Structure 1
Amino acid sequence: MKNKIIVFIALGLIALVPMSSCSDYLDKEPDDQLTLESVFENKNNMERWLAYIYSLVPKFYTYDGADAVADELAPSVGWESQGFKAIFYQNGNWTANNEGVISYWTTFPKAIRSAYTFIKYAHAIADVSEKEVNYMKAECRFLIAQFHAMMVMTYGAIPIIREAAEETTGESLLLKQEPFYTVVDWAANEMLEASKELPPFYDDDNKYGRITSLTCLAIRARLLTFAASDLVNGNQDTDMKNMKNCDGTPIFNSEHDPNRWKQAVEANKLVIDEAEKSGHKLHIEYLSNGEDIDPFLSYQNALMLRRNQGNLEIIYPRTYDDAGYFDRQANPRSMGGAGAIGVTQSLVDAFFMRNGLVPITGYTNDGGTPIKNEASGYSEDGYSTADESFNTRWMYGTAKGDAAKDQNVIVPANTYKMYCGREPRFYISVLYNEEYHWGKKKATNFFNGGEDGGPSHDSPCAGYLIRKRVDPSAIPTESSGNYKNRQGCLYRLAEAYLSYAESLNEYSIDMGTYDSNKKEILKYINKIRERAGIPQYSESTEAGKITAPTDPKEMRQLIRRERRVEMNCEAGLRFDDLRRWKEAETALDGKFWGMNMLAKKEDRDSYYKRTVYQTRKFISYWWPIPQDEMDVNINLRQMPGWWK
């Protein structure tokens, strides 16, 4: 083989999967160049090639990608002056000429072509069996399909790269965009076929993080759920209806197809059935009696623990990530953190109450005044007068927290009532002002002039820091923590449960079969709520439970809220959810509220006042194709909303 490759694509990268050392890699040829034959005659080289492809799978512990442009994470708005791209996007200061917050268009094709090259040239050698090579090739086949899936969900109209081009220039690279569902169906089929070649899990801990058959089925189900949703399934938006590729072929279908929801139902149920058959389950930890669920530790450790630590919920782990760096950005300034990765008031409002009811049903006054659900007991009037305890061994609520006890005070007296009586997932996810922090050994102080507050661009602009995904025991100044080496989580079983419930509900709306499917829908929502430690839904009036809606469109809203709470701040899911539900133009445009960060401690009541901290501008449901790519490839057509 006369072709040469520059080995920088495989060198200098930290493998995302356990691969062998390759210290002698550069000894093979001078000038840092190797023939393809020599690369795939060496185990270390082969593994590093695969590791490079894995390295382009987006990280979990980020705050500048899809997570940051939804309505959950609130990175410091002051970072705009430092060139933080997500804030530019939030504010609508964005064109196709900008360097992307999401850069799939420029990064994924490289990985796709590298994966095709691996499939073409990798073969069994002395220390790599044919079985292992076939696993690697199936992983590459899946990753090719996953990268296409992420691109089509992001850009809408993309080409399909079906092979690794030998040329680096010329007409062979001027691919044309294909119809949305052509890409979706192709990628979904590739994932399904790859799943047939891979095991559901690996017994070898050193292979934890490698693609499995369940990974393939999970991302396939996510793609088909997106493809069934309002954004693309019968969208009547004029610009999308009129969009065509360079051949004049329409990109999007304008007619709603109920079969798309049927495919999503079947795909999500397949994930559930195959995962549970292989031993996957929601991560649940119990109190000392071994019977009662500890909802705090269960929800926290569903992300924190690995498979060999007893967590069987994660289906797609990312074993090497930037968890420690994320901890530093999210922890209060007084303990060595940046104190700059917060969450929005709308996320705070979304969590249920301890009794399982919705606290806020809507807003008046342009979003600034909540409409309270009086039955829930929610209040924003004053401060609590008594400690609030939960049945949990989670020790981080107060200075007296004790992991050996089955009951701990989580909300001490004199806490602002907005934060009292909320469900366990709230306390695992949100760090609010004057809440006790284990690393500080005292309460947070986000007041203006406080050690954790402003004036500084590195302070929580909305009045909160994110707690979810953050090691609760981390102390940045000491580089300490109990979960320093935790994995990222790109898919877990809870998502399959919620996606299945949503898909079945939507298909029931299409087919008029809600009454016959309600029990099945509630089964999987209730699995999530049971683990969360809040009352479940019942088909009829039942003591200790909440009566489920008789209207499937009301059920739709409950499912969406449950999904927002359970999956909050994970893997950019919220951004795609808002888009596919066609809610982004409302949720991501206009005033964003938080607490009043200008208030000083001596004016405590003024701090707990809903205050606008940012006004955002929504531009388009689709990410722009980079203008540089448009200039190079005359066959491309720009997405709606980015023509200006």
Structure 2
Amino acid sequence: MNNYIKSLLRATIWVAMFFVVSACEDYLERAPESIISEEQAFQNFTNFQGYVEELYHCVPNFTLSNWVSSWNWGEDEIESTAGTFTFSYNVDRGNFWAWQVENGAGNNGWLDANGTNTNRDHKNKGLWPLAWYAIRKANMGLENLSLMKDATEEERQLIEGQLLFFRAWFHFSLIQYFGGMPYVDQVLPSDEQLTLPRLSYHECADRVAQDLERAVDLLPIDWDDTTTGRRTLGKNQLRINKIMALGYLGKNYLWAGSPLMNSVSTGSQTYHAEYCKKAADTFGELLQLVESGETQYALLPFEQYNDNFYTMGQNWALAGGTEAIFRSTYYSANDTHWRISKQYKPTFMDEGDPTNFYPTANYVHDNFGMANGLPLPDDITQADPASGYDPNYPWKDRDPRFYKTIVYDGVKVVQGAIPDANQEINRYANLHTGGSYREVVTGSLSGYASRKFSPLAANKYDRAYDWGSALHINVPYMRLADIYLMYAEATLMGYNSLGAPSNTFSKTPLEAVNLIRERAGIPGVQDRFLGSVGDFLSELRRERAVELAFERHRFNDLRRWMLLTEEPYTTKTSFEFDRAGEFNTDDPTENRIVNMREEVIIERNFTSKHYWLPLKLADVSLYPDFYQNPGW
């Protein structure tokens, strides 16, 4: 923030005096004749919206942040041994400094970067510098709203609503990783010494809420239904709307009500009931709008589940369908060819970077249960009559989301021809101990692989990542299933009951969770988890781990629940086993295995300091009230 606080201090109207028709172009490179006056820059909707557009490009696209994209830092995923430069590798070893460019991140992460790149290139965009830049820009826009003379009331509300949303969103994005920050709600004068104190988490959350509540009032549900939005009809999916503002308002309240954030604000390591009630009622308002048919959002049918994350053969259509709520921008959908499509298989299968990411065995076994809705037994080497789990056939009759998300031993990866007969063995995922997909440098350390974000056919034989397949991968920041699960958690902990709905929506926490399970084709939560709020909370958290697996949520969930430092969440394991009997190429769930066991890959030695990322040393040296996080 050293350079970025100074940018806040130096803020002048000059930034606004460049007519930014599209933030996909770098306004700093425009010809001198394109420089216009302050009054012109803000006088009408077209000009002002051009100014606002740059804020969309301040949101990092974590899916495509660089040649290798690392965003799962819980106990859920592990990189191949080649990936020693990733933040996930450093997190496992307790080195949280490595989010910073100057401390090992280089250009490999999306939390930091060497500058405030707002051009259309996905690479080298960092949340830390861009957040401060965007907050300054939003404040400049808000302070110049009075110059918007040639505009309708609807146009003014759209501009103000977007600016307030982005100011709140970037503050929230910072405090969820770093704790309470100064809340900057004005353009700071350049002739005054910086003294803004770090607020408590709750104080920051309250300020975020004020901005988002106002944005909710100003923004439409769907820009296509406004006079202004009809000028860009059918191209408004990413524009900030009321549902996005409600979603983040509820999330902000739930985070404030979670044990970690409550503990640093009040000293209590429990849920804060009042914040949870606010979250529940906010999410309830959103879901009432959805279920009454007043929005463009709905859960995708399960057969289209992976459309949440990628499209193929649809002229690079943006992934997410009706379920994605908030997504980052993109400019070249085919960028996935060079990046994320090639980071979930051994390199000899996809010609990608040697760094690949794989689900951990502990995460798969602890969360992905059976088709009847029950979890696996604690000891996966033993049969479980209640759930039907058979350790010799461990992939049989599993939760249908397991098959949408996880590649297990024997799954057919290559669908077409393999010219080299010697490579025919690699048609199937050889993930057993000693199998080819366990190759030591780029292969799976855990015995599992992922298929959630990249299709099986994204391999060097079927080549689904080539231009002709039009594969476009873009993992959303927020989707509707997440809203239902956050609603369930907030309502449960706010109203302390499985059977009590919020004040704004009729579904109970149990009904909200069961709706997500029903979409996947599994029964509702079993009776054994309905005896108390605590019993149900553990199953709700498991449901969240399954439904939102590998979507960037787990690290923050473990942190806010104050479980990051606790067993078993500090352990990453592999699944070791041998094949037995005839290999079934038609149905890999029928393949028998023996000698199954979990082995520890790494133990993460965390202490309480690891609940927050450390701030940059240069930044905490700026002035006393901007102090370092405890333990760092």
Q: What range is the shorter-chain TM-score in? A: 0.7 to 0.9
Q: How far apart are 1:121 and its partner, in Å? A: 3.5
AA of the residue aligned to 1:557 = S
**Preserved contact between residue 307 and residue 319 of structure 2 (Cα < 8 Å):** no
Secondary structure of the 1:267 match is helix
AA of the residue aligned to 2:103 = N
Secondary structure of the 1:595 match is strand
Matched, 1:313 2:323: yes
Q: How far apart are 1:426 and its partner, in Å? A: 0.6
Secondary structure of the 1:214 match is helix
Q: How far apart are 1:519 and its partner, in Å? A: 7.4
What pairs with 1:133-282 in structure 2 (closer than 5 Å)? Answer: 134-167=157-190, 170-171=192-193, 173-203=194-224, 204-233=233-262, 235=263, 240=264, 251-254=265-268, 257-277=272-292, 278-280=294-296, 282=298
Cα 1:130–1:460 shift into 2, 3 Å: farther
Cα 1:613–1:253 shift into 2, 3 Å: closer
What is the distance in 2 between the residues matched to 1:345 and 1:255? 30
AA of the residue aligned to 2:344 = A
**Preserved contact between residue 25 and residue 45 of structure 1 (Cα < 8 Å):** no
Cα 1:206–1:28 shift into 2, 3 Å: farther
CA displacement 1:429-459 (0-9 Å, x = unmatched): 1122321115566312346886644232x22
Cα 1:313–1:621 shift into 2, 3 Å: same
Larger deviation, residues 97-106 vs 51-60 = 97-106
AA of the residue aligned to 1:525 = V
What is the distance in 1 between the residues matched to 2:19 and 2:249? 28
Cα 1:469–1:621 shift into 2, 3 Å: same
What pairs with 1:183-582 in structure 2 (closer than 5 Å)? Answer: 183-203=204-224, 204-233=233-262, 235=263, 240=264, 251-254=265-268, 257-277=272-292, 278-280=294-296, 282-285=298-301, 295=302, 297-304=303-310, 311-320=321-330, 323-324=336-337, 325-333=339-347, 334-338=349-353, 340-349=356-365, 350-360=367-377, 362=378, 373-381=384-392, 417-438=393-414, 442-446=427-431, 452-456=437-441, 458-475=442-459, 477=463, 479-480=466-467, 484-509=471-496, 513-514=497-498, 520-537=508-525, 549-570=530-551, 572-582=552-562
TM-score (normalised: structure 2): 0.76
Q: How far apart are 1:211 and its partner, in Å? A: 0.7
Cα 1:113–1:22 shift into 2, 3 Å: closer
Q: How far apart are 1:27 and its partner, in Å? A: 1.9
Match of 1:92?
94
**Preserved contact between residue 259 and residue 561 of structure 2 (Cα < 8 Å):** yes
What is the distance in 2 between the residues matched to 1:54 and 1:612? 42
What is the distance in 2 between the residues matched to 1:582 and 1:310? 31
Larger deviation, residues 68-77 vs 153-162 = 68-77
CA displacement 1:538-597 (0-9 Å, x = unmatched): 7xxxxxxx6652222111111111111111111x21111111111111258643101349
What pairs with 1:20-35 in structure 2 (closer than 5 Å)? Answer: 26-29=30-33
TM-score (normalised: structure 1): 0.75
Q: How far apart are 1:98 and its partner, in Å? A: 2.9
Q: How far apart are 1:351 and its partner, in Å? A: 0.8
CA displacement 1:247-301 (0-9 Å, x = unmatched): xxxx54548642222212212212211233423554343xxxxxxxxx3x24223
Cα 1:440–1:343 shift into 2, 3 Å: farther
Larger deviation, residues 579-588 vs 345-354 = 579-588
AA of the residue aligned to 1:313 = E
What are the ranges of 5 or more consecutive residues in structure 1 without an aligned counterpart?
Answer: 16-20, 241-250, 286-294, 364-368, 382-416, 539-545
* Aligned mate of 1:112, from 124, 135, 138: 135
Cα 1:617–1:10 shift into 2, 3 Å: farther
What is the distance in 2 between the residues matched to 1:504 and 1:6? 44
Identity, % of aligned positions: 23
What is the distance in 1 between the residues matched to 2:499 and 2:141? 50
| Equivalent residues, number | 551
Cα 1:561–1:608 shift into 2, 3 Å: same
Q: How far apart are 1:223 and its partner, in Å? A: 1.1
What is the distance in 2 between the residues matched to 1:12 and 1:328? 35
Match of 1:392?
none
Larger deviation, residues 95-104 vs 465-474 = 95-104
AA of the residue aligned to 1:485 = H
Q: How far apart are 1:69 and its partner, in Å? A: 1.1
Q: How far apart are 1:180 and its partner, in Å? A: 1.7
Cα 1:514–1:353 shift into 2, 3 Å: closer
* Aligned mate of 2:75, from 71, 75, 84: 71
Q: How far apart are 1:43 and its partner, in Å? A: 8.1
Cα 1:222–1:487 shift into 2, 3 Å: same
Secondary structure of the 2:449 match is strand
What is the distance in 1 between the residues matched to 2:629 and 2:19? 33
Secondary structure of the 1:494 match is helix
Cα 1:465–1:39 shift into 2, 3 Å: farther
What is the distance in 1 between the residues matched to 2:398 and 2:240? 37
**Preserved contact between residue 192 and residue 220 of structure 1 (Cα < 8 Å):** yes
Q: How far apart are 1:422 and its partner, in Å? A: 0.9
Secondary structure of the 1:502 match is helix
AA of the residue aligned to 1:227 = A
**Preserved contact between residue 309 and residue 319 of structure 2 (Cα < 8 Å):** no
Secondary structure of the 2:103 match is coil
CA displacement 1:167-195 (0-9 Å, x = unmatched): 2x751x34211122111111012111111
What is the distance in 1 between the residues matched to 2:91 and 2:544? 24
Cα 1:529–1:72 shift into 2, 3 Å: same
Cα 1:51–1:464 shift into 2, 3 Å: farther
Cα 1:526–1:10 shift into 2, 3 Å: farther
Secondary structure of the 2:363 match is helix
Match of 1:390?
none
Cα 1:436–1:213 shift into 2, 3 Å: same
What are the ranges of 5 or more consecutive residues in structure 2 without an aligned counterpart?
Answer: 1-10, 113-126, 225-232, 418-426, 584-591
Secondary structure of the 1:418 match is coil
Secondary structure of the 1:358 match is coil
CA displacement 1:482-532 (0-9 Å, x = unmatched): 5623543121111121112112222343xxx55556972221111111101
What is the distance in 2 between the residues matched to 1:525 and 1:444? 33
What is the distance in 2 between the residues matched to 1:150 and 1:330? 27
Cα 1:310–1:105 shift into 2, 3 Å: closer
Cα 1:475–1:526 shift into 2, 3 Å: same
Cα 1:617–1:253 shift into 2, 3 Å: closer
**Preserved contact between residue 20 and residue 47 of structure 2 (Cα < 8 Å):** no
AA of the residue aligned to 1:625 = L
Cα 1:130–1:521 shift into 2, 3 Å: closer
Cα 1:77–1:157 shift into 2, 3 Å: farther
What is the distance in 1 between the residues matched to 2:358 and 2:437? 12
After superposition, the CA RMSD in angstroms is 4.0
Cα 1:636–1:468 shift into 2, 3 Å: same
What is the distance in 1 between the residues matched to 2:47 and 2:443? 45
